A and B are shown apart, each in its own frame.
Chain A
Amino acid sequence: MPTMTLIQAVTDALRSEMREDKDVVVFGEDVGKNGGVFRATDGLQAEFGEERVFDTPLAEGGIIGTAIGMALYGLKPVPEIQFQDFIFPAFDQIVSEAAKIRYRSGGQYTVPMTIRTPYGGGIRGGHYHSQSGEAYFTHTPGLKVVIPSTPYDAKGLLISSIRDPDPTVFMEPKRVYRAIKEEVPEGSYTVPLGKARLAREGQDLSIITYGAMVHVALEAAKQAEQEGISVEVVDLRTLLPYDGDAILKSVKKTGRAMTVYEAPKISGFGGEINAFIAENAIEYLQAPLYRVAGFDTPFPYTLEHDYMPTTDRILHFIRKSKAY
């Protein structure tokens, strides 16, 4: 079995699905000849031609607006938004159109589209190449929101998203695009949407997280173990609809929980998860529910590692929870 980085697994997922289904088309800014600024579509135009893999004019609203039209007509478009920070010109098309078309047409029309977009900080990208905007989309019924953390999941979840009959925002943790390598099967396979993954088993405390933060949480859990605290890490993988059963199962076992996310803390997705835990399992809790998150500031350049959750900051809350 070949080993791949997360970005290679993304490319491999696209290649596998394009070989299986002629309705899959891939496009966006610089995705054609150049193969994408992160090389996610490297080699695809050479294999599948310019009709299926192509560069578009520089307009995110146009990329998503036209992708919706293609999806309505029966294609399975996989548009790329070069950085998630650039998605907002397309926000109207995603939130007011793609997400609502099935509902508003009484189920007559559907939008099987997968928007791929790299997100997240830690790459010296400043305000406009670092943000983590998942909560804008999890607040929109009709969308699915998927964030992988490993190469294996990236490929399987991306294939599931492409095959899904509804619009999916597929956010890729660019900070770990090349940080981890693991075995990834050749050909097509799926990882189901809506199911979390137990990234690490533990007894004393649950960290519910996703994307690049999974790896920071795992490192914190490793260090906590040396202090005698056994930490469980739940990787959500799909944020909408999220895996409520997996969250409750973990929290009911450990009795302590926190969410870790790199987006601004207020109205962040971890707040939803903590509210869900409070509503459904408060009697199991032995400590407050914490949010270890980004600061409620625009994303900074020089101090980005102080802005984002670190192992130290997570460890601080692990100790605080345990000592409560």
Chain B
Amino acid sequence: MTKYEIQSVLKGDGSDWDHNREPHLKDDQLRAIYATMVRVRMLNERGMNLQRQGRIGFYIGSEGQEAVHVASAAALEPTDWWFPHYRDPGVALLRGATIEQMVHQLYGNAKDMTKGRQMPNHFSFKDQSFFSISSPLTVRVPQAAGAAYAMKYKRTKQIAVSSFGDGSSSEGDFHVGLNFAGVWKAPVVFLLNNNQYAISVPSSMQTASETYAQKAEAYGFEGVRVDGNDPLAIYAAMKMAADKARAGKGPTLIECYTFRMGPHSSSDDPKRYVNPNDLTFWGAKDPILRMRNYLVKKGVWNDALEKELVERTKDEIQKAIEAAEATPAPELRELVTDVYAEVPWHLEAELQELKESVE
């Protein structure tokens, strides 16, 4: 195999695979990866519809890319810090965050853990070591390197993972973060979701490099290229990188080669720039379809389990929406809390002026 060849385990539609490269996961781990991908997909579909109906303001989804973050998270300790891409809700779900918590966030209501302060999908789940999301992704590349430095300093054996897209690789923070991490041999993994588009700009206009993975070489560490629609290959790559980081052997850049099957966000129309043939080609490689075929062939999944998962998730999402729509907006005071640990006098004064003006 040449250096940056795409690593894969599953063949074709997932009914066949490379037995030599197959990672050895327990049945319940395999089912958890699959179920989480399905849950992300179903929340995605319903979320987009809520936006189309005007019930929430925005949605940004993960269709076609679910394997990248879900299989990666399965290869980590749940206490490893995840510096998220906005297409990564499956990491928090796999670690125990609930769909209801997420739907409250989509509505920005009083039960939203981020207190209605961010657009939908900009989650933050500290209990799941899932760091807060800002819309620009690459800022978290150096942040993850810094957290990894602190983990090394405190000798906690945790690692940090920074997840971002192909467009991110053009930002200065990508260079800066990989460079610092390389110099420090920090316990961090950089997960590049190469879905081939940064909104409408294709990879060919993002870089003149043949691959994204090879960029790691310039920073003095290993880069690998993985089939981003192959949960088993992603799991194996992340496991290798995480073990290496934990052993003090420094960072790894993992490029997952995949395709964004949906729009960039609910505000985008990909018909303006995506070739429909690509959707057909990548649709046949759907990671959920492939994983299901693999699990069925191995005898750990069947129609009854599928039906139960889908029904349960549908019900969970429905109940979460009902709960969210019955929950009021955050208290007015939340406008001024959490700017600092304590509310300073000038914010108290501004809030008072607002109250007087509406009375």
Residues of A within 8 A of B (CB): 25, 51, 56-57, 59, 61-62, 65-75, 77, 89, 92-93, 96-97, 100-110, 141-142, 144, 165-166, 194, 241-242, 244
Contacts and interface: CB of A to CB of B under 8 A. Distances in A.
B132 interface: yes
A263 B351 CA distance: 30
B72 interface: no
A59 B81 contact: no
Given A62-B145, A69-B150, 12 more contacts: A62-B173, A65-B141, A65-B143, A69-B144, A70-B147, A73-B146, A100-B134, A103-B338, A105-B124, A106-B338, A110-B341, A165-B340
Contact of B345 (A57, A101, A244): A244
A67 B143 CA distance: 7
A72 B340 contact: no
B150 A74 contact: yes
Contact of A109 (B132, B145, B176): B132
B139 A93 contact: yes
B183 interface: yes
Given A65-B146, A105-B132, A141 B339 contact: yes
Contact of A69 (B117, B143, B341): B143
B257 interface: no
B142 interface: yes
Contacts, number: 146
Interface of B: 81, 112-115, 117-118, 122, 124-126, 131-132, 134, 136, 139, 141-151, 153-154, 160, 172-173, 176-177, 179-180, 183, 337-341, 344-346
A25 B346 CA distance: 32
A28 to B, nearest CB: 12
Nearest to A66: B146
Contact of B142 (A93, A166, A242, A244): A93
B142 A61 contact: yes
Contacts of B118: 104
B134 to A, nearest CB: 6
A61 B117 contact: no
A278 B177 CA distance: 46
B132 A104 contact: yes
B188 to A, nearest CB: 9
B143 A68 contact: yes
A300 B140 CA distance: 37
Nearest to A99: B339
Nearest to B141: A65
A51 B132 CA distance: 27
Given A69-B145, A72-B147, A61 B338 contact: no
A105 B114 CA distance: 5
Contact of A165 (B151, B176, B179, B341): B341
A106 B139 contact: no
A104 B176 contact: no
Contacts of B337: 107
13 contacts: A65-B173, A69-B143, A73-B151, A74-B150, A75-B153, A92-B139, A96-B139, A100-B134, A108-B132, A109-B124, A166-B340, A244-B345, A244-B346
A65 B153 contact: no
Nearest to A242: B346
Contacts of B122: 104
B172 A104 contact: no
B81 A108 contact: no
